Structure 1
């Protein structure tokens, strides 16, 4: 704990890191190693069921529920057609519910999910474009941080995070 904080200041306001919300339920990261609610989309990386070296970048856009799924080198998913989601989108939404909870994901996507229904079955959008390269790049950046040794020293590339609170 930081002992030099002014009274009433939260510790996360003085650090280069923020608290991480623990998952609602534990997830198996082998199938869906990366899932996030960002940029107005539920998006993430899903492992291929047939090729260990292939991953898919899948996403669902909030409100419109348009969805996208392609390999990390921008080849479209063969199981994606029209308004029917592929198995990668099904895996992504299922893992997002495990990570964030059904209420939070449905609220973020602005979807109405009836009692006992699966989130993916309540989304009515069709195919739509999504920035797969950006999502995959963010996933790779997260992997790079996992390889860093534990330290309490600031990470140079994150130096732009404020170290102290500015009072005006």
Structure 2
């Protein structure tokens, strides 16, 4: 590649979609992403079916935030990871694989094959601080936008708001 030749993915406008590392159930953590320098997502409440929490862990510092969809702080996130954040980490490992989550969050567990528990343990051992919950609104908004696509009838015609997605094409 050093001679100026570009790989196939560099010459195209498409991004490879990575399939989940393992299947996961969406009822507890319907939305999880590695984005904006954080592991973040939406976690269902264990006690109220109408409530969800927006949880996040920052890469490197492990600063964490957890609040309801209407910006009320999580009662369990006082000085350490709450159960919502622990569930988010577990589902992220299922979605992306422990290695990818560890690299993204910059977690060194000292293990060749880390799991969700070892990642969580390594992060909480650093005594992370409670972080800024300002990311909750954009994360929840992206989650709602994803949910809106479930309401569409299956069609084969293009959707105007999805036209930025790459189409299948051959790169010469």
Q: TM-score, normalised by structure 2?
A: 0.80
Structure 2 match to 1:127: 130
Q: Secondary structure at the match of 1:59?
A: strand
The answer to whether structure 1 residue 136 and structure 2 residue 163 are counterparts is no
In 2: Cα distance, 1:80 partner to 1:9 partner: 45
5+ long unaligned stretches in structure 2: 1-6
Q: Secondary structure at the match of 1:112?
A: coil
Deviation string, structure 1 residues 36-72 (Cα, Å, up to 9, x no partner): 0011100000000000000000000111110000000
Structure 2 match to 1:76: 73
Q: Secondary structure at the match of 1:58?
A: strand
Structure 1 match to 2:19: 22
In 2: Cα distance, 1:102 partner to 1:160 partner: 30
Structure 2 match to 1:4: none
5+ long unaligned stretches in structure 1: 1-7
Query: How far apart are 1:23 and its partner, in Å?
Result: 1.0
Q: 1:118 and 1:164, CA in 2 relative to 1: closer, same or farther beyond 3 A?
A: closer
Number of residue pairs matched by the alignment: 153
Structure with more helix by fraction: 2
Q: TM-score, normalised by structure 1?
A: 0.82
In 2: Cα distance, 1:68 partner to 1:45 partner: 12
User: Alpha carbon RMSD of aligned pairs, Å?
Assistant: 2.4
Query: How far apart are 1:158 and its partner, in Å?
Result: 3.1
Q: Secondary structure at the match of 2:146?
A: helix
